[in-house]
Structure 1
Amino acid sequence: MLKTRYVAAAIGSLIMIFIAAMYLVPLLQVEKATKGNTYAKSVFDQSKVTKVDITLADDDLDSILDNPSEKEIVNADVTINGETVKNVGFRTKGNLSLNSVVQMDDSERYSWKIDFDYYQDDQDLHGLKKLALNNNYSDPTFMREYLSYELMEKMGIATPGHSYMYVTINGKEWGLYLGVEAIEETFLNTNFADATGDLYYPDGTGSDLKWISEDIDDYTGLNLKTNDHSDQSAMIHMLDAINNGGNIEEVLDVDEMLRYFAANTALVNLDHYQGDKKHNYYLYEENGVFSILPWDYNMSFGGYSGGGGRQAEGTARKNEDEATAKNDNAEQDDMKLPEEAPNMNGGGMMDMSSNFMNESNINFSITEPVSGTALEDRPLLNALLSNDEYREKYDDYLNDIATDFFSEEKMTAMTSEISTLITPYVKRDPTKFYTMNEFLEATSGEETLVDFAVQRAGSILAQLSGDLIVEGETESGTDGRAPNMGADANGGQQPPNMAGGGEMPAMHPPDIDRGGNGSPPDITGKMGQKEPGNSSSSKDTIILSLVLLILLLGAIAFAHFFKRRGKTG
Structure 2
Amino acid sequence: MLKSRYVAAAIGLLIMIFIAVMFFLPQLQVEKATKGNTYTESVFDQSKVTKVDITVADDDLDTILDNPSEKEIVNADVTIDGETVKNVGFRTKGNLSLNSVVQMGDSDRYSWKIDFDHYQEDQDLHGLKKLALNNNYSDPTYMREYLSYELMEKMGIATPGHSYMYVTINGKEWGLYLGVEAIEETFLNTNFADGTGDLYYPDGTGSDLKWISEDIDAYTGLNLKTNDHSDQSAMINMLDAINNEGNLEEVLDVDEMLRYFAANTALVNLDHYQGDKKHNYYLYEENGIFSILPWDYNMSFGGYSGGGGRQGGDTNLENRNEVTAKDNDAEQDDTKLPEEAPNMNGGRMMDMSSNFMNENNINFSITEPVSGTSLDERPLLKALLSNDEYREKYYDYLDSIATDFFSKEKMTAMTSEITTLITPYVKSDPTKFYTMNEFIEATSGEETLVEFASQRAESILAQLSGDLVIEAEAESSMGVKAPNMGAEEPGGLQAPNMGGGGDMPAMHPPDMNPGGNGSPPDVNGMMNQKGPGNSSYSKETVILSLVLLILLLGALAFAQFFRRRGKTG
Q: Secondary structure at the match of 2:104?
A: coil
Task: Mark the CA change 1:44 to 1:345 in structure 2 (over 3 Å): closer, same or farther.
Answer: farther
Q: Secondary structure at the match of 2:164?
A: strand
Cα offset for 1:520?
3.5
Q: Secondary structure at the match of 1:102?
A: helix
Aligned counterpart, 1:513: 519
Aligned counterpart, 2:89: 89
1:383 aligns with 2:383: yes
Cα distance in 1 for residues equivalent to 2:533 and 2:50: 21
Cα distance in 2 for residues equivalent to 1:186 and 1:144: 25
Cα offset for 1:25?
8.5
Given residue 263 of structure 1, which amino acid in structure 2 is its aligned partner?
A
Task: Mark the CA change 1:385 to 1:216 in structure 2 (over 3 Å): closer, same or farther.
Answer: same
Cα offset for 1:71?
0.4
Q: Are 1:259 and 1:397, in contact at CA under 8 Å, matched by a contact in 2? A: yes
Aligned counterpart, 1:564: none
Given residue 297 of structure 2, which amino acid in structure 1 is its aligned partner?
Y
TM-score, length-scaled by structure 2: 0.77
Please, which runs of 5 or more residues in structure 2 have no aligned partner?
309-332, 476-514, 552-569
Aligned counterpart, 2:276: 276
Task: Mark the CA change 1:239 to 1:525 in structure 2 (over 3 Å): closer, same or farther.
Answer: closer
- Identity over the aligned pairs, expressed in percent? 80
Task: Mark the CA change 1:116 to 1:355 in structure 2 (over 3 Å): closer, same or farther.
Answer: same
State the Cα deviation string for residues 99-144 of structure 1 (Å, max 9, x = none). 0011111100000000111111111000000000000001000000
Cα distance in 2 for residues equivalent to 1:126 and 1:533: 26
Aligned counterpart, 2:176: 176
State the Cα deviation string for residues 222-275 of structure 1 (Å, max 9, x = none). 000000000000000000010011111110111110000000000000000000
Cα offset for 1:194?
1.3
Cα distance in 2 for residues equivalent to 1:303 and 1:353: 5
Cα distance in 2 for residues equivalent to 1:108 and 1:157: 33
TM-score, length-scaled by structure 1: 0.77
Aligned counterpart, 2:499: none
Q: Are 1:158 and 1:528, in contact at CA under 8 Å, matched by a contact in 2? A: no
Aligned counterpart, 1:59: 59
Q: Count how many residue pairs are aligned between Structure 1 and Structure 2.
A: 481
* Aligned pairs for 1:125-524 within 5 A: 125-306=125-306, 344=343, 346=345, 349=349, 351-474=351-474, 511-514=517-520, 518-523=521-526
Aligned counterpart, 2:510: none
Q: Are 1:191 and 1:532, in contact at CA under 8 Å, matched by a contact in 2? A: no
* Aligned pairs for 1:66-81 within 5 A: 66-81=66-81
Q: Secondary structure at the match of 2:60?
A: helix
Given residue 413 of structure 2, which amino acid in structure 1 is its aligned partner?
A
Cα distance in 2 for residues equivalent to 1:530 and 1:216: 36
Task: Mark the CA change 1:455 to 1:27 in structure 2 (over 3 Å): closer, same or farther.
Answer: closer
Please, which runs of 5 or more residues in structure 1 have no aligned partner?
320-342, 476-508, 550-569
| More contact order relative to length (CA 8 Å, sep ≥ 6) | 1
Cα distance in 2 for residues equivalent to 1:29 and 1:226: 21
Q: Secondary structure at the match of 1:103?
A: helix
Q: Secondary structure at the match of 2:297?
A: coil
Cα distance in 2 for residues equivalent to 1:211 and 1:355: 36
Aligned counterpart, 1:526: 529
Cα distance in 2 for residues equivalent to 1:535 and 1:303: 40
For the aligned residues, what is the CA RMSD?
A: 3.4
Q: Are 2:76 and 2:88, in contact at CA under 8 Å, matched by a contact in 1? A: yes
Q: Are 1:100 and 1:312, in contact at CA under 8 Å, matched by a contact in 2? A: no
State the Cα deviation string for residues 413-459 of structure 1 (Å, max 9, x = none). 00000000000000100001000000000000011000000000000
Q: Are 1:156 and 1:528, in contact at CA under 8 Å, matched by a contact in 2? A: no
Cα distance in 2 for residues equivalent to 1:148 and 1:311: 24
Cα distance in 1 for residues equivalent to 2:126 and 2:21: 28
Task: Mark the CA change 1:523 to 1:93 in structure 2 (over 3 Å): closer, same or farther.
Answer: same
State the Cα deviation string for residues 258-316 of structure 1 (Å, max 9, x = none). 00000000000000000000000000001101000000000000000126996598x9x
Given residue 526 of structure 1, which amino acid in structure 2 is its aligned partner?
Q
Given residue 415 of structure 1, which amino acid in structure 2 is its aligned partner?
T
Aligned counterpart, 1:325: none
Task: Mark the CA change 1:354 to 1:128 in structure 2 (over 3 Å): closer, same or farther.
Answer: closer
Q: Are 1:200 and 1:224, in contact at CA under 8 Å, matched by a contact in 2? A: yes
Q: Are 1:190 and 1:532, in contact at CA under 8 Å, matched by a contact in 2? A: no
Cα distance in 2 for residues equivalent to 1:246 and 1:273: 21
Aligned counterpart, 1:112: 112
25-34 vs 353-362, greater mean Cα deviation: 25-34
Task: Mark the CA change 1:529 to 1:225 in structure 2 (over 3 Å): closer, same or farther.
Answer: farther
Given residue 219 of structure 2, which amino acid in structure 1 is its aligned partner?
Y
